[in-house]
C-alpha cells in the first residue's frame, strides 16, 4: 500500500510539473523586413495569430505550401506572420541577409509579415519546445504568449485540420 501511495504521489507531482512547464511564445523584439520594430507576442496582429517559423532558405517552399493550403493572403484576411530564425551568428551579416530576403519579397504587405530573429536559436527553440531546425513549424499564438498548437513539418490536410481546430 505504501508503494502504491508513493507511485500515486510521484504521478501527481509529474503531472503538476508538466502544467508549470507549459510552453509559451518568447518575448522578443525584432524588425520586419520593412524595418519596423515590433515586440512579440504582444504585438501579434490578432489574437490569435498563425506564426510560421523557419530556419533555412530552402524551407520557404514549405512555408509557401502552408500559406496556400490555408488560403492566406498578403494583406487582410486571417492574421499571420513569419519568423525566419537566423541566430546570433547571422547578426554580423544582418544587412546582407535582410537585403537578400527583401530582394525575394517585393511586396510591402508581405515584408510587414516577416520578422527575422537574430538572437539565440537554442533559447528561442527551447522556449517553444522545439528540438531542431530541420523542419518548419506552424503555431497558433495568442498575444499573451499562449501557444494553442505547434505543428512540425510540411503541410498535410490533417495538419491543416489540427491548426483550424486549435482556434479558441
Domains in the chain (CATH in brackets) are 23-165 (3.40.30.10)
Q: Provide the pLDDT for residue 51.
A: 98
Q: Provide the pLDDT for residue 120.
A: 85
What pLDDT, in 10s, does the model give residues 69-88?
999 998 889 999 999 999 77
Distance CA 168, CA 165 (A): 8
Which residue is it, cell 510552453?
Answer: 23
What pLDDT, in 10s, does the model give residues 47-70?
999 999 999 989 999 999 999 999
Decide: 163 and 138 in contact? Cβ < 8 Å.
yes
Distance CA 57, CA 12 (A): 44
- Judged by average pLDDT, the poorest of 41-50, 110-119, 144-153 is 110-119
Q: E strand or H helix at 161, and its extent?
A: helix 157-165
Which residue is it, cell 504582444?
Answer: 42
Q: What is the pTM of this model?
A: 0.82
Write a three-state SS string for 65-111: HHHHHHCCCCCCCCCEEEEEECCHHHHHHHHHHHHHHHHHCCCHHHH
- Asked if the model's pLDDT at residue 20 lies above 70, the reply is no
Q: Provide the pLDDT for residue 16.
A: 31
Distance CA 36, CA 114 (A): 10
What pLDDT, in 10s, does the model give residues 93-144?
767 677 677 677 778 888 899 999 988 899 999 999 999 999 999 999 999 9
Amino acid at each position: 500500500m505504501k508503494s502504491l501511495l508513493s507511485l500515486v504521489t510521484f504521478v501527481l507531482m509529474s503531472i503538476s510539473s508538466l502544467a508549470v512547464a507549459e510552453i509559451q511564445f518568447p518575448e522578443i523584439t525584432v524588425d520586419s523586413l520593412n524595418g519596423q520594430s515590433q515586440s512579440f507576442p504582444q504585438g501579434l496582429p490578432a489574437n490569435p495569430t498563425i506564426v510560421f517559423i523557419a530556419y533555412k532558405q530552402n524551407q520557404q517552399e514549405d512555408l509557401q505550401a502552408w500559406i496556400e493550403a490555408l488560403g492566406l493572403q498578403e494583406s487582410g484576411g486571417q492574421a499571420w506572420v513569419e519568423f525566419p530564425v537566423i541566430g546570433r551568428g547571422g547578426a554580423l551579416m544582418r544587412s546582407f541577409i535582410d537585403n537578400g530576403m527583401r530582394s525575394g519579397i517585393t511586396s510591402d504587405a508581405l515584408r510587414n509579415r516577416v520578422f527575422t530573429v537574430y538572437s539565440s536559436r537554442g533559447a528561442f527553440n527551447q522556449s517553444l519546445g522545439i528540438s531542431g531546425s530541420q523542419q518548419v513549424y506552424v503555431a497558433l499564438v495568442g498575444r499573451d504568449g499562449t501557444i494553442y498548437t505547434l505543428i512540425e513539418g510540411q503541410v498535410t490536410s490533417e495538419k491543416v485540420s489540427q491548426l483550424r481546430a486549435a482556434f479558441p
